[in-house]
Amino acid sequence: MALRELLRAADVRGARRLHNVADARRAARRRLPSVVYDYVDGAADDELALWRNEAAFGSVTFRPKMGSGCVSASIASRVLGADVAVPVILAPCGLVRLLHRDGAAGVARAAASRGTVSVLSTVAGSSIEEVTSQTGARVWFQLYASGGIREAEMLCRRASECGVEVLVVTVDIPALGNRERDVRHGVTPPLRVDSHNAVALGVQVFTKPRWAAELAATGLRLARPSARSSGPGDSALQGRASPFSWDDIARLRAVWAGALVVKGVLSGEDGARAVDAGADAIVVSNHGGRQLDNAPATLHALPDVGAEVGGKVDVLVDGGIRRGAHVVAALALGARAVMIGRPYLYGLAAAGEPGVERVVDILASELRRCMVLLGCPSIEDLGPQWLEGLDAPVPGARRAWPSAPHGSTA
């Protein structure tokens, strides 16, 4: 058997061993050098926003209806007018190629095989051309403007030429968040290796020979946004901030013919501004707690945004979703769909493309079971009537989430 087939068979077996997102996280931790694991798992400053995102779901109390006769639940939905088999979209994430040789193309294929979609980050490590031509999968493209609005417009043109129909503009990175785990590894801006950190990183890589050998055997190429050398998006890869004004969004709206999504909104007021600037959908997001610490939990910010713009555009939410029940809570509070970041990254690190598929399958099956236990037959029927409230105490015993706050890597 060729090396690639052997590796693939090992990943399929590895994926079968994952029974929840926490399993995927543990497997990722075992498999990755700590500098890479911390890049994924970490967040800004004291990691409070990450902790809050996760903890918010622990404060949800459902209001089930017994005797409804509901024994199965339909989880198919429509986002931006397109069908999805499961309302879970794979959020844009940078440097995914570092986690597993399958990289962004594997993520796109996994999403497509589960009837959903992935969002390719400007800094994913694979170009739009590569991912769309290699996979033939429907992908959305996420835009940073680290090189200015002209570079952003150039990236839009390339995405459009590749048949991308949905552009996701991330607005919550006017400065880079202070990700102290990365700082301690000596690798900010994003995971740069230089003479100061090379020895320490070399030792880490040495302790994960399988990870290193697989990447080396399949061609280690971390991040290149363009098929051409030094192409648009390189400034984002250099870890530069991406400041967008609402005028910039309006300008992009004028050149982008497809659907435009604004990601990183945390208030009804900003939701309204985004819609005024031409957004077709909003993602309530605090960048997985990687930007402004002390930002609100996204689940708590969702109702305000939904009340302001929910009747006009699709509202999505991400941050802290680790269980199917969390998807139910988000949809009951008005989200059309959710995005996940770390859960699929853990799956990718643990078992490549099959690991990503497995994480989506786990969330889909948990989502279905949770709806049946509630007595709710369909996504369309979810609403606030299924919630008792959001302020019950976070359960303490034997929980995998939330992660420990205060920058702990425990």
DSSP state of 262: E
CA nearest to 288, candidates 301, 276, 297, 280: 297
User: Among the options 287, 300, 326, 406, which is catalytic?
Assistant: 287
Distances from the Cα of 163 to the Cα of 95, 213, 310, 369, angstroms: 23, 35, 28, 36
For ligand FMN, the closer CB: 126 or 285: 285
Could you say which residues in the range 319-348 bind ligand FMN, by CB under 6 A?
319-321, 340-342, 345
Cα(386)–Cα(379) distance, rounded to whole angstroms?
Answer: 12
- Three-state DSSP state, 85: coil
402 preceded by a cis bond (ω within 30 of 0): yes
Q: Please give the size of the binding site for ligand FMN, defined by CB under 6 A.
A: 24
* Contact call for residues 235 and 146 (beta carbons, < 8 A): yes
Find the binder of ligand FMN among 28, 80, 123, 137 (CB under 6 A): 123
Cβ atoms of 93 and 121 within 8 Å: the answer is: yes
**Partner residues linked to 141 by β-bridges:** 120, 167
Q: How far apart are CA 90 and CA 107, in angstroms?
A: 8
In the complex with ligand FMN, which residue's Cβ is closer, 73 or 104? 104
| CB-nearer residue toward ligand FMN: 170 or 235 | 170
Least distance (Å) from ligand FMN to the CB of residue 267?
17
Q: Is 100 labeled as catalytic in the residue annotation?
A: no
Let me know: does 142 contact 170? Beta carbons within 8 Å. yes
CA Rg, the chain, in Å? 20
Q: Which residue is nearest to ligand FMN (CB)?
A: 341
Q: Determine the 3-state secondary structure of 398 from DSSP.
A: coil
Letters for 125-164 (x = contact with ligand FMN by CB under 6 A, - = none) are: -----------------x----------------------
Residues 292-311 that bind ligand FMN (CB under 6 A): none
Residues in 80-109 at the binding interface with ligand FMN, rule: CB under 6 A: 91-94
Q: Does 263 bind ligand FMN (CB under 6 A)?
A: yes
Interaction mask 25-44, ligand FMN, x per CB under 6 A: --------------xx----
Q: Give 21 or 75: the residue with its C-beta nearer to ligand FMN.
A: 21
Q: For binding to ligand FMN (CB under 6 A), which residues are involved?
A: 39-40, 53, 91-94, 121, 123, 142, 170, 263, 285, 287-288, 290, 318-321, 340-342, 345
Catalytic residues: 287
